[in-house]
């Protein structure tokens, strides 16, 4: 599987190519699936599509989930605290952009 040094490996932009299931997200974030479901219930993560009763997320949700997990662990926040922090961070970013 290791390519030789001069072989060029092609990748895809993950955020634009992927549709992730709860299972994918839980594996990539190394948390239990229940945790991902809780994030959706708290509004931290948004479901992009539902088919055959299964939830799908865009690749961008991975970044958000990781950020949420870091805040939760490092700052010892609860779910509501994480949701609030993310909302405020987004608001701040929008405002800074508008002020440019």
Partner 1 sequence: MEFKDYYKVMGVARDATEAQIKQAYRKLARKYHPDVSKEKDAEARFKEVGEAYEVLKSPEKRAAYDQLGQGHAPGQEFRPPPDWGSGFEFSGAGGRDSDYSDFFESLFGAQARSGSGGARGAFHRGRGEDHHAKVLLDLDATLQGGSRQLTLRVPEVDADGRLVSKERVLKVQVPKGILPGQHIRLAGQGGRPSGEGTPGDLFIEVEFQPHPLYRIDGRDLYLDLPVAPWEAALGATVKTPTPTGTVDLKISPGKRAGSKLRLQGRGIPASPPGDFYVVLQIALPAADDDKAKAAYAALAAALPFNPRASLGV
Instruction: Single out the residue of 50, 52, 74, 95 in contact with partner 1 (rule: CB under 8 A).
Output: 74
What is the edge-to-edge ordering of all strands in the sheet holding 49-51? 19-20, 54-58, 49-51
- Which one of 12-20, 41-49, 50-58 is the stretch in contact with partner 1 (CB under 8 A)? 12-20
H or E segment to which residue 98 belongs:
helix 79-99
Tokens of 11: 């990748």
Nearest Cα to Cα of residue 90 among 75, 68, 57: 68
Q: How far apart are CA 41 and CA 8, in angstroms?
A: 42
Among 43, 63, 78, 90, binds partner 1 (CB under 8 A): 63
| Region from 36-44, 46-54, 66-74 binding partner 1, contact rule CB under 8 A | 66-74
Residues lying near partner 1 in the complex (CB under 8 A) are found at 1, 3, 5-18, 27-28, 30-32, 59, 62-63, 67, 70-71, 73-76, 85, 89, 97, 100
């Amino acid at each position: 599987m290791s390519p030789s040094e001069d072989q060029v490996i092609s990748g895809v932009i993950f955020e634009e190519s992927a549709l992730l299931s709860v299972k994918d997200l839980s594996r990539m974030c190394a948390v239990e699936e229940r945790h991902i479901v809780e994030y959706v219930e708290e509004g931290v993560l948004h479901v992009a599509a539902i088919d055959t009763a299964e939830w799908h997320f865009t690749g961008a949700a991975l970044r958000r989930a990781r950020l949420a997990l870091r805040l939760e662990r490092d700052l010892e926040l609860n779910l509501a605290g994480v949701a609030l922090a993310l909302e405020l961070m987004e608001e701040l970013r929008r405002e800074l952009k508008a002020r440019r």
